[in-house]
Structure formats: C-alpha cells, structure tokens
Amino acid sequence: MLAQVTLLQQTYNTHSSLQAECPWRIQRRITSTFVLEVKPVANAWEALAEDAFHITNAPEELLSDAQKGWETLHRINHAPSLSVGDVVQVTHPYGTEFYLCRSSGWEKGYPSYLARLFENLVAVEETLSGIPDNNLVTKQ
C-alpha cells in the first residue's frame, strides 16, 4: 500500500513564544512530498511520520536505497531537516493524518488544530513535482 507523505515545515518567521503557546498555529510551508510504501499495521501512519524524520535527519549511510532517493528529493528542494514543531501529513487510501513533531514523539492533529494549521500555511507556487500545493494538502 502506498501513502503520500508531505512535510509542512516552519518558516523563518516563526516566533518561539507563539510556538510554545499554540504549536499548530505557527507559519509553515510545504517543503517536500514523497511516496512511501507501508504495510497496513497498527500505527502505520505515525510510523511514516517517523520515517520522514529519519529520512531528513539520518546520515546517508543509515538510509535504505529507497530512502536515499527520497532524501535526495528533499535536499534538492533545499528543505531543512524535520524538527520539533514541523508537521507531517500522511495521505493514504483511508484518509489523511497529521502529526506534529514534538521533542519526544508525535502529537496527532484533530480538526480544531488543523484549522489553525491551514490558516497559517504559506502558499508556495509549485513543489518539486510541479503539482500546485493546493492539490497536495487535503483539508478534513
């Protein structure tokens, strides 16, 4: 089964006080999108968020061949590594999940959080694949 993983990373305009106060409300932009294969098991969607963290942070020698390809796409987009406060969107055949990177683990997004996320999403004209961003982000 395939799932699309989209990274929504903080812009440089993010204020640390706002990040601590309401981490879903800070300004973000889409930096990368890649397709990952996943086995349909419990916690599979959160595991994809963890994979995205690994792909953007681990040294190249610790990545699989497929992960190296996704890491190259991320680097070509000049995107920073995934860090605390960034959001991972996982779109799969059953819907879309959102995960906020915390200092330890992930916080799942719920409708009230997502409204704040989308109102502060910075529009980017195109992604690396040439698909306009508004086609990548699915509002639930």
- Summarised one tens digit per residue, pLDDT across range 21-75 is 778 888 888 888 888 777 766 677 888 898 888 888 888 888 888 777 777 766 6
Please give the pLDDT value at position 130: 40
Distance CA 64, CA 9 (A): 24
Bridge-based pairing of strands 106-108 and 28-37 is unpaired
Distance CA 113, CA 135 (A): 20
Distance CA 90, CA 6 (A): 7
Please give the pLDDT value at position 88: 95
pLDDT tens digit string along 95-140?
899 999 998 899 999 988 898 888 888 865 443 344 333 333 332 3
Bridge-based pairing of strands 87-92 and 95-101 is antiparallel
pTM score:
0.76
